[in-house]
Amino acid sequence: MAATRRLSHSVAVITINHPPVNALSHSLRRSIAKEFGDASKDSSIEAIVLCGANGNFCAGADIKEFGSSTLDSVSLNNINDAVERCQKPVVAAIEGVALGGGLELALSCHYRVANVQARVGLPEVLIGILPAAGGTQRLPRLIGIPAALDMIVRGRHVPATEALQLGVVDEVVKANTIDAAIQLARKVLGEKYNHH
Ligand SMILES: CC(C)(COP(=O)(O)OP(=O)(O)OC[C@H]1O[C@@H](n2cnc3c(N)ncnc32)[C@H](O)[C@@H]1OP(=O)(O)O)[C@@H](O)C(=O)NCCC(=O)NCCSC(=O)C[C@@H](O)CCCCCCCCCCCCC(=O)O
């Protein structure tokens, strides 16, 4: 399990990979933190796309590690804060599911592109906990308190088209989600340069 990084022109594509659903285990979080930190510092990289392998963005915290001592070291909150604060545009490319901590990671990105088949949600309530990596702050800021509360208290999986209407994601595509995220990042970069 690891996060890997490739370059598409000046956009770094960081792929989260922990089969089958890219649950955020301790070693995956450590790997994401390293790849993201390196990409943030690399002056040849202008923007970053985060995506998932195995047909999914990420199903959230690794439930199988709950109760172990690894939960706090390399915290998802720290990763999400670093993503949000990044000076380069960061775009999440969401395929399959972005659930729980997976959606919280995507919410920390500056933009989200989803495949039309994707689903997003904060299902923590269904396992008796609350979203604990910024989702209860970032989701209401993005879509307003009533819609965010509805997602948080029901824990339902929201289809991509509804997520677009709600404002959880910025764009929905039928195919080539990662390419679309790269294009969005490059468009944002173009706008940035045109304003200077
Ligand atoms: C993802 C799914 C929609 C996929 O469904 P599908 O039907 O395709 O497949 P399966 O359900 O058969 O799953 C396949 C396979 O994957 C395993 N799996 C799925 N999700 C996870 C996961 N999150 N972690 C680990 N493993 C997972 C599943 O078990 C199967 O494995 P198997 O070996 O049987 O093949 C569907 O699976 C689904 O809906 N999954 C649940 C998604 C979910 O609930 N996500 C939220 C997780 S909680 C979370 O993300 C919290 C965040 O807010 C982050 C917070 C960070 C701080 C953490 C501190 C929390 C402390 C709480 C501790 C309390 C307990 C304690 O320690 O006392």
- Give the model confidence (pLDDT) of 156-175 as tens digits: 999 999 999 999 999 999 99
Which pLDDT tens digit goes with each residue over 115-158?
Answer: 999 999 999 999 999 999 999 999 999 999 999 999 999 999 99
Average pLDDT estimate for 45-63: 97
Average pLDDT estimate for 1-5: 82
CATH of the domain at 62: 3.90.226.10
- Which has the higher per-residue pLDDT, 8 or 151? 151
pLDDT at 2: 80
pLDDT at 179: 97
Strand partners, 4: 15
What is the residue range of 145's domain?
2-194
Examine the predicted complex and report whether its ipTM is higher than 0.90. yes
Residue 3 pLDDT class (50, 70, 90 cuts): confident
Which pLDDT tens digit goes with each residue over 92-116?
Answer: 999 999 999 999 999 999 999 999 9
Structure token digits, residue 47: 């923007």
Which pLDDT tens digit goes with each residue over 31-44?
Answer: 999 999 999 999 99
Which candidate in 35, 46, 95, 104 is catalytic?
A: 104
Quote the number of domains for the chain.
1
Would you say the CB of residue 127 lies under 6 angstroms from ligand 1?
Answer: yes
Would you say the CB of residue 100 lies under 6 angstroms from ligand 1?
Answer: yes
| Statement: the pTM of the whole predicted model exceeds 0.90 | yes
Residue 73 has pLDDT above 70, yes or no: no
65 is catalytic: no
Which pLDDT tens digit goes with each residue over 120-129?
Answer: 999 999 999 9
Closest CA to 171 of 110, 105, 130: 110
Residue 69 has pLDDT above 80, yes or no: no
pLDDT at 72: 62
Residue 89 has pLDDT above 90, yes or no: yes
Would you say the CB of residue 104 lies under 6 angstroms from ligand 1?
Answer: yes
Q: Tell me how far the alpha carbon of residue 62 lies from the centroid of ligand 1, in angstroms.
A: 6
pLDDT at 189: 94
pLDDT at 9: 85
